[in-house]
Amino acid sequence: MAMKIGDKSFFGRVDDALQDDFMRQAMSSAQDRLRGKKQAATVEDELVGDWEEWRSAGEEIRQHTLDNLDFYLEQLSENFTKRGGHVYFAKTAEDATRYVQEVAKRKNAKNVTKAKSMVTEEIGLNEALEEIDCNVYETDLAEYILQIDDHDRPSHIVVPSLHKNKEQIRDTFRDKANYTGTEEPKQLAAFARAQLRETFMQADIGVTGCNFAVAQSGSISLVTNEGNANMVTTFPETQISIMGMERLVPTWEELDVMTNLLSRSAVGQKITTYVTNLTPQLVEDSVDAPKEFHLVILDAGRSNALGTEFQSALQCIRCAACVNVCPVYRHIGGHAYGSIYQGPIGAVLSPILGGYEEYGELPYASSLCAACTEACPVKIPLHELLIRHRENYVKDYGKTAEKMAMKTFGVGASSPLLFKMAVKGMPAAMKPFVKDDHIENGPGPMKLWTEVRDFPAPGKGNFRNWFDNRKKGGGAHD
């Protein structure tokens, strides 16, 4: 599945990441910058007013849209086709790629340009198009960097090449594309511009994702900065946009609110350089507009969340604000998640879309500090959803040892006598592992923790003794 990154186990990937000091440095510095920019454009921007009010507005809109998703999707489809566009509802990733392949074959397409889109990454669209001998060109700078670096995978939802520094990018350009310039970002970007200019003009098909569709008018809105999305949707004869089925708003009024939340939360901008709103055309009279416009609306597991405790996960607008505040992401980076969706939202979304068997361990990649929930512009209770996932995972997929441990704890905790014995016995049981009042190499479930940091040794006193003593009039610090 194209959503998946790498074949190693979760802990294997985490180990790799923890040893990559360079990547961790890049991640923490990028996280700081993104977080700072967001703060400046949200709670610190006086003109924007009460940011909490904006978050409530976002939540309200997303909840209403999801509760009435069938209605608004039907409205979108009706308005899109009324204006001459074609709509394909895809149940699975395979259905979506097959449809795009069919369109490409029918158009005898050779060259396909793409704007940045996580959903096309999710369904493996590039591979599907290459299978039928199309040349696929990623045109977003970050995606272009990854593509020419032997199809490296994204490590961040908004800035997919976040794990690379400018020297690495210079070397990749030099080795793979005969670049002769320096590591200056301006020169590197100018190189990409020169490389892709003619490619935009020669493309037969332009592929985009969709930040938001507007049901009321059958429009697709793209929120971008580089100008490549405009290129991709202006010059090819055929445009194909692919959207997750939840990515829509009822009318233009809500588009305004969501665009503001996205621009400020994702990149700290009042508005991105381009907000491009595209609607199929009834009359074919423009020289620089596609003649054919297809919209693929994708389920691919999203409906698993509808009507469940996880429905709010579909409120996500892919701003990565939660990723940018996550202490775990900061340390392990994007690839360790093993999914193209990383960070807290990735840990919530990946199991919904890809199942617990593949992604059930991801909800453990969290300290449950709730910084993600606080950062989310549409108020998804991310840390609570992570807990729900953990419960489900332990129930259905938990390892026997973990289940036994939970069961043993259950038995012990249900009997006052057993509980008392366990608490009293703890210092003695841990004694072989204690060194200088802490545990450096703990047994069983403590092993993973103590590999990275020390664990305090159990104290000789315990809460019950302390409480009893206090009731008898003893000191609080006994």
Ramachandran category for residue 194: left, alpha or beta (phi over 0 → left; psi -120 to 50 → alpha): alpha
* Region from 215-223, 389-397, 440-448, 458-466 binding other proteins, contact rule CB under 8 A: 215-223
CB of 148 to other proteins, least distance (A): 13
Main-chain phi, psi angles of 376, to 5 degrees: -65, 125
Of 9, 182, 202, 286, which one interacts with other proteins (CB under 8 A)? 286
Please pick, from the candidates 40, 132, 177, 271, the single residue that binds other proteins as defined by CB under 8 A. 271
285 sits near other proteins (criterion: CB under 8 A): yes
* CA angle (273 as vertex; 270, 278 as ends), nearest 5: 110
Give 142-149's long-range contacts (Cβ < 8 A, gap of 24+).
Answer: 142/116, 143/114, 143/116, 144/192, 144/195, 144/196, 145/169, 145/172, 148/172, 148/173, 148/176, 148/177, 149/176
- Looking only at the bridges linking them, the beta strands covering 219-224 and 438-439 are unpaired
Q: What residues numbered 87-106 form the site for other proteins, per CB under 8 A?
A: 87-91, 95, 99
Q: Work out how close the CB of 202 gets to other proteins at its nearest, in angstroms, rounded to a whole number.
A: 12
* Residue 390 CB, nearest approach to other proteins (Å): 23
Name the DSSP class of 185. H
Residue partners of 50: CB distance under 8 A and separation at least 6: none
Closest to 54 measured CA to CA, from 379, 275, 381: 379
Interface residue with other proteins, options 129, 142, 210, 439 (CB under 8 A): 142
As given in the structure block, the two tokens for residue 452 are: 């990275």
Tell whether residue 141 is a contact of other proteins (CB under 8 A): yes
**139 binds other proteins, rule: CB under 8 A:** yes
Give the nearest distance from C-beta 272 to other proteins in angstroms: 7
Residue 119 lies near other proteins (rule: CB under 8 A): no
Nearer to other proteins, 233 or 366 (CB): 233
Q: Is 64 exposed, middle or buried (0-12, 13-18, 19+ CB in 10 A)?
A: middle
Q: Does 177 bind other proteins (CB under 8 A)?
A: no
Candidates 298-306, 321-329, 401-409, 435-443: pick the segment binding other proteins (CB under 8 A). Answer: 298-306
Q: Is 217 in the site for other proteins (CB under 8 A)?
A: yes
Residue list 55-94, contact with other proteins (CB under 8 A) = 56-57, 60-61, 64, 67-74, 77, 80-91
H or E stretch covering 3: none
Q: Contact 441/433 with Cβ under 8 angstroms? A: yes
DSSP E strands: which ranges in 279-391?
292-298
Q: Which is nearer to other proteins, 283 or 417 (CB)?
A: 283
280 binds other proteins (CB under 8 A): yes
Whose Cβ is closer to other proteins: residue 31's or residue 366's?
31
* Residue 89 CB neighbour total at 10 angstroms: 15
Q: Is 191 in the site for other proteins (CB under 8 A)?
A: no
Q: How far is the CB of 296 from other proteins (least distance, A)?
A: 9
| Site for other proteins contains 120 (CB under 8 A) | no
135, 279, 450, 465: residue in contact with other proteins (rule CB under 8 A): 279
Radius of gyration over every alpha carbon of the chain, rounded to an integer in angstroms:
26
CB closer to other proteins, 122 vs 140: 140
Q: Per CB under 8 A, which of residues 221..250 are in contact with other proteins?
A: 225-228, 230-231, 233-235, 245, 250
Q: Which is nearer to other proteins, 197 or 447 (CB)?
A: 197
Among 137, 179, 200, 393, binds other proteins (CB under 8 A): 200
* 244 vs 442, beta carbon nearer other proteins: 244
Name the segment binding other proteins (CB under 8 A); options: 278-286, 327-335, 349-357, 420-428.
Answer: 278-286
| Alpha carbon distance 359, 351 (integer Å) | 5
Complex with other proteins: residue 128 or 439, whichever CB lies closer: 128
Cβ pair 204, 107 in contact under 8 A = yes
Q: Which of these, 287, 261, 286, lies nearest to 275 by C-alpha position?
A: 261
- 44 part of the interface to other proteins, by CB under 8 A: no
39 binding other proteins? (CB under 8 A): no
User: CA 62, 95, 142, 352 torsion: positive or negative?
Assistant: positive
Diameter over CA atoms, the chain? 91
Query: Of 405-424, which residues contact other proteins (CB under 8 A)?
Result: none
Using CB under 8 A, count the residues that bind other proteins: 110
